[in-house]
Structure 1
């Protein structure tokens, strides 16, 4: 193995995913009659919505989700690393433990494959990163799981061989014909919130009208959910923005308000998130009942915690948090933002030895 930059992270995470690893004891498998996803099992219970929260509580929450970054206390950082070791530093141990598992790779988009940028429409993936993902997808089923609209993510990545789960997993579609993996179903499509589309469109128009007077605010239609970005909004205007968003959402009890990194998310109240998307894809691929699968999920955002939690509950899989700063997480491993690097990683897939060369550019996640 050739590592040009020992401090790099994200690309090594992909390299970690490309070793057939047996890291954890498998949990009880999901029940999957007849080998396909049972639609009657879709969770119907509605979650409690956040419409009753006070505006000042929302403002406090907005600040908490977008803290001013200060140097982390060394002792606190070391304690956090002890519980969430670097996937890079544990790489040799992971390789020694790896044997006989089918890897399935799940990747967040913003902040993981692309930089966090002020304009969400310009969160482009580099050619080098695209090639790295393409190389991984040649060997293992690979999915992009994002809060973005599925079509938007595809327009950024432009790899037809991937599975795409947009709208926080509420819009899932499999690869183009000819790219389906050997155990996968012929067609993969999941849209559990389809009935909410007219409501989402209505709320989108209302939000566009409400926030147009707040400089820097941007409303993004992600098809099955909405995002209100405030990264470019002055902090003194956050309260006003939160007020306007709540005024709209209060009229729609079937929608709930959640938060990410300088973004407010409006979603249907169905119990469906990135963790459900992960489980759906494993089932669609034919691995829900398999003890020989290793799901690997790499992400950086609060919404990725649902997927990390599922991996912990399964007792089967590898969750990797991409973060420069210690924070509470369900991930097992951590990675700092990477820097430009090139690897030659020997790997085995289907009994064929080959060298996979991965090139990726790193971005600073702010």
Structure 2
């Protein structure tokens, strides 16, 4: 593991000391699951379940915080089966879907979700015209219930299409009092006011966390990083892990540790598990 600074190495050591009271927050796509051209075919890394069950034995709780609908993350990640193993060890697994708008846990096996935002249906009806005008009519539009995502990854030139769409999609979203969350070859339109940082705040408050590690790879994780850093200023042991890619570098300068993908995320979590267990031995 390579730390961004000596201070970051010190934060890791503090997190190891606070491991038993710590929460581990993980994005799904790009962090636990490799990025693929078809998001519906994304699956959690094959080693993730074993790593997370072992980690859960050393920490307060594990949480998946994703822009995906909670049900989709549960299915693609096999997270309900994983939750059985975590819960059997006396620990909890949480899933926060759609940037925290949806919530599921191993203790309460149901998804708690608000109503879709006003204006989303109208936005979706008007979107095809915007796509045609931007020469991106074949972009994949994913209806997520509480949000609409426009994916350009399947197009011939994903980056050029993304750039053509960012302005017009943003204008249409604002006309319906919605916000746009740009990501890796995707523009997600949803209601304002809810973001991953609020999921972090909820976990810290409700669980009385003494530490928090958060790992993510995209712009949607910025608020989570900011929330963790804010709690760190009040004494919480923290570690911020950025998954770097050629598409997105927004988190790298904020991170204590930079890794290259899900393989290295899991290596880091294995190391944390081993160090925490050794300290308790």
The answer to whether the 8 Å contact 1:84/1:331 transfers is no
Deviations 1:207-254 (A, max 9, x none): 3575377354111223322211112333554455346534642530x2
CA contact under 8 A between 2:70 and 2:111: conserved in structure 1?
no
The answer to whether the Cα contact below 8 Å between 1:197 and 1:223 also exists between their aligned partners in 2 is no
Cα distance, 1:202 vs structure 2: 4.2
CA distance, structure 2, for counterparts of residue 331 and residue 262 of structure 1? 22
> Is 1:174 aligned to 2:94, yes or no?
no
Deviations 1:64-106 (Å, cap 9, x if unpaired)?
Answer: xxxxxxxxxxxxxxxx945896xxxx49x84487324412110
Cα deviation code 1:245-272 (max 9, x no counterpart): 34642530x21123112211212122x2
Structure 1: which 5+ residue stretches go unaligned?
1-6, 10-79, 178-186, 354-366
Partner in structure 2 of residue 312 of structure 1: 229
SS at match of 1:124: coil
Q: State how far apart, in whole Å, the 2-side matches of 1:298 and 1:239 are.
A: 27
| Secondary structure of 2:96 counterpart | strand
CA contact (8 A) 1:84 1:334 kept: no
Q: Go from structure 1 to structure 2 and tell me whether the alpha carbon gap of 1:110 and 1:211 turns closer, same or farther (over 3 Å shift).
A: same
Partner of 1:129: 48
Residues 269, 110 of structure 1: CA spacing in aligned structure 2 closer, same or farther, 3 A cutoff? same
| Structure 2 stretches lacking a partner, 5+ long | 84-92
Any runs of at least 4 consecutive aligned residues in structure 1 with deviations exceeding 6 A, and if so which?
340-344
1:328-359 superposed Cα distances (whole Å, 9 cap, x missing partner): 543333223346968782643996x4xxxxxx
Partner of 1:155 in structure 2? 75
Q: Please give the secondary structure, in 1, of the residue aligned with 2:79.
A: coil
Shift of 1:282: 2.2
Name the residue aligned to 2:148.
226
More helix by share: 2
| Displacement of 1:320 | 1.0
Structure 1 residue 335 and structure 2 residue 259: aligned? yes
What is the rounded CA distance, in whole Å, between the counterparts of 1:350 and 1:176 in structure 2?
28
TM-score by length of 1: 0.58
- C-alpha contact 2:29 2:35 (8 A) present in aligned 1: yes
Q: 1:345 aligns with which of 264, 274, 280?
A: 274
Distance 1:221 1:282 in 2: 31
Question: Structure 2: how far apart are the matches of 1:215 and 1:100?
Answer: 51
1:268 aligns with 2:191: yes
Higher relative contact order (CA 8 A, sep 6+): 1
Which protein shows a greater Rg? 1
> CA 1:274/1:135 → structure 2, altered by over 3 Å: closer, same or farther?
same
**CA distance in 2: counterparts of 1:223 and 1:350, whole angstroms:** 45
Q: Aligned in 2, Cα 1:211/1:135: closer, same or farther, shift over 3 Å?
A: farther
Matched, 1:255 2:166: no
Number of residue pairs the alignment of both structures matches: 252
